[in-house]
Amino acid sequence: MTADGRPGPDRALYTISVAADLAGIAPQSLRLYEQRGLLSPARTDGGTRLYSDNDIARLRRIAELAEEGVNLAGIARILDLQEENTRLRGAGGGAG
């Protein structure tokens, strides 16, 4: 929970139909993106996918890249590089 009592951005809250609606993507696409390793939603004990706010943001980024004509392999590489860049900026403290 955040300081204001709301769930944090990593908390899995949304079912696949709600996540698809929030991201503007068909549920089948979410399943495909998971199969291709572009995201990993949480799962309930019964196997139901649950998506967090961070997952929704990632889905929106995937959709943007797909609209620009980037294929799924390219999207995976771009997302990996962006995550690595974020990690490096956090670890290094910035340029001097």
CATH fold label, 16-92: Multidrug-efflux Transporter Regulator; Chain: A; Domain 2 (1.10.1660)
CA distance 52 to 63: 17
Rounded-to-integer distance, Cα 51 and Cα 33, Å: 13
Higher pLDDT, 96 or 26: 26
Domain extent listing, the chain: 16-92
Tens of pLDDT, residue by residue over 41-89, are 999 999 999 999 999 999 999 999 999 999 999 999 999 999 999 999 9
What is the pTM (predicted TM-score) of this model? 0.81
Angstrom distance (rounded) from CA 84 to CA 27: 28
